[in-house]
């Protein structure tokens, strides 16, 4: 396998993929690894989605209907963990793998073997996490934010598997981030200066720094949990002089940058797609870069807006309130730039563009509800209600998930050399759009009316909106099975795609043939 002579021989000339299973298990190729990430992410998306449907089925009517409350808690916890760490993050890393080397004119990622390892850790980590569903005491049931003491003193024994699962995911993310940074800093073709890089590359570079700074803090906090649970320390136990609020500070110091890790690459995707279908260059490229960097910097000084109600000093409440509101400024710059890009453009509305426009509109709704939550005194009312659930699902589903879907439609011709069916794509868009708004928009109202989150039963006055949300959830869920059908149909029997299937698309990836060759650029391309 690792015979040195073979390596020396094969390093001389690049060649196509190995055959069979070994291609996928041993691969060092950024496209293979990107593909693995994308399929894994989709599998996790359906897994986490099924759990969401268990939740919505239980909440279809008031009263305990289908599952017992303990299992309901396991479902909310696992749904959150799987969607955050299993669906959204791997999808973005998969897109980074596929696109960054092509976009900067490189043959591959800078550290290809580590790239393989960052992917292959994930299936094992999630197998371990999902196994806990069948173990004594059940799966983790303390919410995806795993607040102490729920996750320490009152946790099921499987919390240990959860802790090591988080460690594995963290190792994977850190290696992935290092790889992205090394690729962008070191593998750009001559002439590809930093301020010429496509915005997807820029947003991912900044995301990689967020990952490197945030994931070790997550590793730290789960390690402290491990010690509290197994070795008798009292980090999060006031009886020994510790503090459960310390857990929340550490968790959200990771958690808030994490939120931006899940949205910055989405900003990048939308910034690629909007100019293409507006047939205009992106408005305010440099301001987009600086806005992304400002959002990333601010993300490290706003974490305690998640914990306004824990009893912080007034100065803390005020500082975190104003700092949080400051984020609206660079975010507003971005939304303004996207809209200005479309202004007086020759717009067409292919599927990626529909998803991108929906992203702008619906993400902005999520941003505004975020601004409402940032107001500390008002947050005392909204805290831990369905309003919060509505808020973060609006930024994550039509935000992160729509951007990922848009990216898949947009670059699928480049990946597999075939076009998807435009009519089916549009049906998928409207189906998802209606399903998602039906699910999450009513949650604003029941949240403002006081329905708490993470509860399997509710008072009668919330029944109508919950029923609507449940119907919407199933509508949205089945739309994604339809998406799977569209993608498979495209790969197997779509029409052949040209090297640049989009009239207005710019960028190095469109100079390569479709499907893109196994090693993107063997020699550096020329960039003017």
Partner 1 sequence: MSQQHYYVPEQSHWPIVAAVSLFLLAAGTAHALIHGQSLLLLIGLVGVIYLFVGWFSTVVKENQEGLLNDPQVDRSFRLGMSWFIFSEVMFFAALFGALFYVRHLAVPWLAGEGDKPMNVLLWPEFINSWPVMNPPDTQLFQGPTTTVDPWHLPLLNTLLLVTSSITLTFAHHALKHEKRITAINWMLATIALGIAFLFVQAYEYYEAYTHLGLTLHAGIYGGTFFILTGFHGMHVTLGTIILIVITGRLMRGHFSPQRHFGFEASAWYWHFVDVVWLGLFIFVYVL
- Between residue 110 and residue 129, which ones bind partner 1 under the rule CB under 8 A? 110-114, 116-117, 120-121, 124-125, 127-128
| Binding segment toward partner 1, per CB under 8 A, in 174-182, 332-340, 381-389, 470-478 | 174-182
Output 174 or 373, the one with its CB closest to partner 1.
174
Active-site annotation holds for 79: yes
Residue 134 binds partner 1, judged by CB under 8 A: no
- Peptide bond preceding 149 in cis form (omega within 30 of 0): yes
Positive or negative CA dihedral for 319, 325, 329, 335?
positive
Residue 160 binds partner 1, judged by CB under 8 A: yes
DSSP annotation of 519: S
Output 22 or 346, the one with its CB closest to partner 1.
22
Output 160 or 511, the one with its CB closest to partner 1.
160
Active-site annotation holds for 306: yes
DSSP annotation of 460: G
DSSP annotation of 105: T
Q: How far, in Å, are 49, 275, 343, 499 from residue 283 at the CA level? A: 36, 8, 10, 25
| Binding segment toward partner 1, per CB under 8 A, in 234-242, 356-364, 446-454, 504-512 | 234-242
| Binding segment toward partner 1, per CB under 8 A, in 48-56, 212-220, 344-352, 494-502 | 212-220
- How far is it, in rounded angstroms, from Cα 526 to Cα 528? 7
Strand partners, 385: 452
Active-site annotation holds for 249: no
- How far is it, in rounded angstroms, from Cα 336 to Cα 267? 13
Active-site annotation holds for 108: yes
| CA-wise closest residue to 331 among 358, 371, 303, 302 | 371
Q: Annotated catalytic residue: which of 188, 306, 393, 444?
A: 306
Binding to partner 1 (CB under 8 A): which residues in 443-482? none
Residue 224 binds partner 1, judged by CB under 8 A: yes
Binding to partner 1 (CB under 8 A): which residues in 310-329? 311, 313-314
- How far is it, in rounded angstroms, from Cα 35 to Cα 95? 9
Q: Annotated catalytic residue: which of 31, 79, 188, 393?
A: 79
Output 111 or 412, the one with its CB closest to partner 1.
111
Among 460, 492, 523, 528, binds partner 1 (CB under 8 A): 523
Output 174 or 307, the one with its CB closest to partner 1.
174
Active-site annotation holds for 470: no
- How far is it, in rounded angstroms, from Cα 406 to Cα 1? 39
Show the tokens assigned to 137: 């005491």
Residue 165 binds partner 1, judged by CB under 8 A: yes
- How far is it, in rounded angstroms, from Cα 405 to Cα 480? 10
Q: How many CB atoms lie within 10 A of CB 338?
A: 27
| Binding segment toward partner 1, per CB under 8 A, in 208-216, 380-388, 422-430, 499-507 | 208-216
Residue 519 binds partner 1, judged by CB under 8 A: yes
- How far is it, in rounded angstroms, from Cα 330 to Cα 299? 12
**Catalytic residue numbers?**
79, 108, 144, 172-173, 256, 258, 260, 271, 305-306, 331, 334, 453
């Amino acid at each position: 396998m690792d015979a040195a002579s073979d390596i020396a021989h094969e390093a001389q000339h690049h060649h196509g993929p190995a055959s069979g299973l070994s291609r996928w298990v041993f691969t060092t190729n950024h496209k293979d690894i990107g593909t693995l990430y994308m399929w894994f992410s989709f599998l996790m998306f359906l897994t986490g989605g099924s759990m969401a449907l268990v939740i919505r089925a239980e909440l279809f009517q008031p009263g305990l209907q289908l599952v017992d409350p303990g299992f309901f808690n396991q479902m909310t916890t696992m749904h959150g963990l799987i969607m955050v760490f299993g669906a959204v993050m791997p999808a973005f890393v998969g897109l980074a793998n596929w696109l960054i080397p092509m976009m900067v004119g490189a043959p591959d990622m800078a550290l290809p073997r580590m790239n393989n390892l960052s992917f292959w850790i994930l299936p094992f980590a999630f197998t371990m996490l999902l196994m806990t569903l069948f173990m004594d005491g059940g799966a983790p049931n303390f919410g995806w934010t795993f607040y102490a003491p729920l996750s320490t003193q009152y946790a099921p024994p499987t919390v240990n598997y959860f802790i090591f699962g988080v460690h594995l995911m963290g190792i994977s993310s850190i290696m992935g981030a290092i790889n992205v940074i090394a690729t962008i800093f070191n593998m750009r073709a001559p002439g590809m200066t930093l301020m010429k890089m496509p915005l997807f590359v820029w947003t991912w570079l900044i995301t990689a720094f967020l990952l490197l700074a945030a994931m070790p803090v997550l590793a730290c906090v789960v390690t402290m949990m491990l010690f509290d649970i197994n070795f008798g320390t009292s980090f999060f136990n006031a009886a020994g002089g510790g503090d459960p609020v310390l857990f929340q500070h550490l968790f959200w110091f990771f958690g808030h940058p994490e939120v931006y890790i899940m949205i910055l690459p989405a900003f990048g995707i939308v910034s690629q797609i909007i100019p293409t279908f507006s047939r205009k260059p992106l408005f305010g490229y440099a301001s987009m870069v600086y806005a992304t960097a400002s959002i990333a910097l601010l993300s490290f000084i706003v974490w305690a807006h998640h914990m306004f109600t824990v009893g912080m000093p007034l100065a803390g409440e005020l500082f975190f309130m104003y700092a949080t509101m400051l984020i609206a400024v660079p975010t507003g710059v971005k939304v303004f730039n996207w809209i200005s890009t479309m202004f007086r453009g020759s717009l067409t509305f292919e599927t990626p563009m529909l998803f991108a426009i929906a992203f702008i509109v619906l993400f902005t709704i999520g941003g505004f509800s975020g601004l409402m939550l940032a107001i500390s005194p008002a947050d005392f009312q909204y805290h831990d209600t369905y309003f919060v659930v509505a808020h973060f699902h609006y930024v994550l589903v039509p935000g992160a998930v729509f951007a990922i879907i848009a990216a898949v439609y947009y670059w699928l011709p480049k990946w597999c050399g075939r076009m998807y069916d435009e009519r089916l794509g549009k049906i998928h868009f409207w189906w998802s759009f209606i399903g998602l708004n039906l699910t999450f928009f009513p949650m604003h109202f029941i949240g403002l009316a006081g329905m708490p989150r993470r509860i399997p039963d509710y008072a009668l006055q919330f029944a109508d909106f919950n029923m609507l949300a449940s119907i919407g959830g199933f509508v949205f869920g089945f739309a994604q099975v339809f998406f799977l059908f569209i993608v498979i149909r495209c790969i197997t029997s779509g029409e052949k795609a040209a090297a640049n299937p989009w009239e207005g698309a710019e960028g190095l990836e469109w100079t390569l043939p479709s499907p893109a060759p196994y090693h993107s650029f063997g020699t550096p391309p020329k960039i003017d």
